[in-house]
Amino acid sequence: MKRDADPVDGVLLLNKPSGMTSNRALQIVRKLLNARKAGHTGSLDPAATGMLPLCFGEATKVCAYLLNADKSYRVTVQLGSATDTGDGDGQETATAPIPDMSTEQWNDIIQGFGGESTQIPPMYSALKIDGKRLYELARKGETVERKPRSIRIDKIELLEHAGTRLVFCVRCSKGTYIRVLVEDIAKKAGTVAHTARLHRESVGDFEGDRMLDMTVIEELAEEGLEPLRAKLLPADIVLTDMPQVSIESDDALRFCGGQAVQVPADGQEGLARVYEVGQQFLGVGELSGDGALSPRRVFLTQEKTP
């Protein structure tokens, strides 16, 4: 008999293995947790590895906040060869000689990509235009016009230069396509390239040492549900960059019922984490300068369900 899924809440930071889609990874972990509701934040290409935050139950309500977070990557570049997808999974479309440059010269070129700029999304991407994903059109041999998008690169550093290979790390804003960055770096140097390996090291404030490998998750699941569920992080850990507001029990009931409540006015405005006195997380509210706190994302518990 198939077991009914449970209302499991929390965030798990998966080190996604290569060769697996983000959704496939999510469904595997969801099944191991026997979780009723699940979502992931920020897809990784099947060939890519690294941090994929998985959200379960009420924690799916924080997915949007992680999508907007900065991300960092370790990138391995294959110089002299371009592919149609921009990575090693694609078909080679061009080759070019690799300029004889020193590590310092390569680093100078790479450093030139720091700061704010624009980028044209690749055809092999999940971006939708007129309701169709670009990769679906690309697989049919179609190319459509894409508008440049603003991106920001906060840190970029060359780690290794050896023959036909470059390795660099980059911390960037949401919406940055590393495959395009690699192609643009190669173009600046007078050659072509593709991304041979991509590993996402962090998402927002989540660093790599908090990730769990799929093999570890599977081993924990073999011991039962509780050992794996014990690895789930609370949903509010995603929101630590927001200010915290505490409200009394009566106001907590009103807030969870969709009503605005009043807190001491201190001129603060914008989104905030909301807690009932005693530190029970209630959700995300929006503060106005006069002290009104309006619910934006309510995290329902059995006690606070209206």
Report the Cα 208 to chain-centroid distance in Å: 13
- Listed residue (89, 97, 74, 84) closest to 192, CA to CA: 97
Locate all alpha helices (DSSP H) within 36-100, ordered by sequence. 63-67
Per the listing, tokens 């404030």 go with 205
Is 250 labeled as catalytic in the residue annotation? no
Torsion, Cα of 129, 133, 137, 138 (10° steps): 110
* Separation of CA 76 from chain center: 19
Runs of H (alpha helix) within the chain: 22-33, 63-67, 103-111, 134-139, 178-189, 214-222, 225-229, 249-256
Q: How far apart are CA 37 and CA 32, in angstroms?
A: 13
Selected catalytic residue, list 9, 45, 84, 236: 45
Give catalytic residues, as residue numbers.
Answer: 45
